Amino acid sequence: MKKIFATILFTFICAIIITAQTRFIKTKTQFENKETVYQIIHNNYIVGEWWPVTALDFFSRKSSLEFFDSSLEDLLKSSKINALVPDGMTSAVSSGYTIEGQYLIDGVRYNQDQPFPEYGMIILEDYGRSIRFAHRNDYPDNGIETLFRYYQGKESVSILFLPVVKRGDRSLQNNTSVHRALVRRDTYDGEQLGVVVLDEPMSYIDLLSVFQGLDYRSNGGATTTHIYFLDGGATWGEVGRKSKEGKITTFGSRNRSAVTNYLVLY
């Protein structure tokens, strides 16, 4: 009887593990650089898309005001980029919307009167072709000031902050909603970077489950190392991508007056 019960229990547990899997399924959409867009399938349901990243750029109202009067469709049509997504660090203040913390765009330092937030960092070098994930807490106060001063004036470098969902072994297991995310993974083929565009917002816990399912499916050969929060929802949620054939596709909606900054995917 014990053997039968143990067998049933083992089968039940295995069934749970097997169904709690995530797969990337190739779509017919490719970017101009031949990278393929994937559907994210979790527990047999499509939950969103994975947009691969080979290079990143970053711009704001302060650095490129002219872009913010245009639609995403016009921005994608008029430039050689793959996609646009909001960056995750816009906050509402009494008189409008601002970017939290200091940041660097093409060597120019902005919000210098603001503190460095205790968030994740993205350091973009070589015009966004070198992408380094870090954290404010990796640097003492004088260390991060030295970092910004060192890169100030270097046109090939941008630095921005993003809230962390997962970083190494640390993760935030809560019900905060996330709609878009920037993700780094170690795989058989090396580093894998991408933006997750979810069909519907989900909790941090559920998003972590999606990538745990992907890691499990990889049989230990791949690991999700970082998940950084990007803005979403009705206020900041509109994102867009362009296929190699020039077809523009947008997802979500935005309050155009609220969005202050975008990540550019190449």
- pLDDT over 70 percentage in the chain: 90
Quick one: 48 exposed, middle or buried, by C-beta within 10 A (0-12, 13-18, 19+)? buried
Task: Say how many C-beta atoms besides its own lie within 10 A of residue 37's C-beta.
Answer: 22
pLDDT tens-place string over residues 39-98: 999 999 999 999 999 999 999 999 999 888 889 999 999 888 999 999 999 887 665 788
Q: Which amino acid is at 249?
A: T
Give the number of residues written for the chain. Answer: 266
Strands, E, within 20-110: which ranges?
22-30, 36-42, 45-52, 56-60, 83-86, 90-93, 96-99, 103-105, 108-110
Model confidence band, residue 6 (pLDDT cutoffs 50, 70, 90)? very low
Q: What is the mean pLDDT of residues 93-120?
A: 90
Mean pLDDT of 206-224: 85
Mean pLDDT of all residues in the chain?
Answer: 89
pLDDT at 95: 59
- Mean pLDDT to the nearest integer, 131-144: 96
The answer for residues whose C-beta is within 8 angstroms of residue 243's C-beta and 6 or more apart is 29, 30, 31, 249
Q: What confidence category does residue 261 fall into, taking pLDDT thresholds of 50, 70 and 90?
A: very high
CA distances from 104 to 28, 63, 135, 152, 161 (A): 36, 10, 15, 7, 10
- Which two structure tokens, joined as six digits, stand for 86? 């909001």
The candidate with the shortest Cα–Cα distance to 20, out of 50, 49, 47, is 47
Provide the Cα torsion 91, 94, 95, 96; round to 10°.
20
* Torsion, CA 60, CA 61, CA 64, CA 67, rounded to 10: 100
Those residues whose C-beta lies under 8 Å from the C-beta of residue 40, and which sit 6 or more positions away, are 22, 23, 24, 46, 47, 48, 49, 50, 196, 210
Whole-number Å distance between alpha carbons of 191 and 10: 35
Q: Tell me the pLDDT tens digit for each residue of 158-185.
A: 999 999 999 999 999 999 999 999 999 9
Least confident segment among 187-196, 203-212, 216-225: 216-225
Q: Is the pTM of this model over 0.85?
A: yes
What confidence score (pLDDT) does residue 22 get? 93
Nearest to 197 by CA among 179, 209, 215: 179
The string of pLDDT tens digits covering residues 9-20 is 333 334 344 446
The Cβ of residue 110 has, within 10 Å, a number of other Cβ atoms equal to 16
Residue 5: predicted pLDDT = 40
What pLDDT is recorded for position 220?
Answer: 62
**Residue ranges in the chain assigned as alpha helix (H):** 2-19, 72-77, 141-151, 204-217, 233-236
What is the model's pLDDT at position 38? 98
Query: What is the pLDDT, as a whole number, of residue 13?
Result: 39
Model pLDDT, residue 97: 83
**How far is residue 8 from each of residues 14, 15, 20, measured CA to CA in Å?**
10, 10, 18
pLDDT at residue 215 in the model: 84
